[in-house]
Amino acid sequence: MNDEEVLNTPRTSVKFSWNHGGKQVAIIGSWDNWETREILQSIGKDFIVVKTLPSGIYHYRFIVDGWLTHAPDLPWVCDDSGNSYNILDLMTPVSELPESLSEFEFPPSPPSTYDNEYFNDDDFSRPPPDLPPQLQETILNESSRCISGQQSGVQPRHTELNHLYQNNVGGEFMALGSTFRLCEKHVTMLLFKPLLKRN
C-alpha cells in the first residue's frame, strides 16, 4: 500500500480505556506490529488514550505496572500458548442490499386474494373447520365458573379473551358472553335471552 492509499483509507477514532487499577498503564497492539508502546493518560480512576486507526481487526494488550494483560470487560481471545488479547473490530460492514431496489420484482398476488367472485356450490359443500379444543372450554361451559353473583377468583385463559361465546342454558335461555382484560382486571359481560318455544 503506497502513501496515497494510506492517506485515502477511511480512519476511525477509537478510545481505549482501562479501569482495573494500577499506577501506570500502557497499550501495545497489532496496528503497528506490536512495536509502539503508548502510555495512557490517568483521568480519575481511569486510564485513557485515543487512537485513529484504519478499518481492520486488531489485537491489543495492556501493560499495567509492567505486566502484560487484557481488559476482561472488553472482547478478548486466548491463543494456543495461553496468551490473552483484546480484540478491536473496525471492519466496515458490507451492505447486503443491492445498489438499486429496481432489480427486485415482487411476485404477483394470486387473483383469489383480491377478486370479488361469488360463492359457488363448492364453497358451501365443505364442512366448517373444527373448533380448536381450547375454545370449547370456556367460562360459559364450565359449571364451576358460571356467574352466580359472586366472584369466582379464577382468571380466564388468554384464549377466552375478546371472543363471543354462546351457550343454551337448560334449553330455555341462550347465553352470550365475552371477556375482556382491563389492566390487571378481567371483565365478563353476559347477555341472557329466552328462547322462543315452538308449539
Instruction: Show pLDDT as tens, one digit a residue, over the chain (199 residues).
Output: 555 555 567 788 899 999 988 899 999 999 999 999 999 999 888 999 999 998 888 999 999 999 999 999 889 888 888 888 899 988 866 555 555 555 566 677 777 667 777 777 887 888 877 766 666 565 555 554 444 444 455 666 666 777 777 777 677 778 878 887 777 787 878 788 887 766 5
* CATH number among 2.20.25.290, 1.20.1070.10, 3.40.50.300, 3.40.50.2300, domain 133-194: 2.20.25.290
Domain boundaries for CATH 2.60.40.10 within the chain: 3-89
First to last CA, the chain: 101
Q: Which amino acid is at 17?
A: S
CATH 2.20.25.290 range(s) for the chain read 133-194
pLDDT on residue 149: 47
Q: What CATH number does the domain located at 3-89 have? A: 2.60.40.10
Residue (of 52, 70, 53) closest to 61 by Cα position: 70
What pLDDT was estimated at residue 146?
46
The three grid cell numbers given for residue 133, joined into one nine-digit string:
379444543
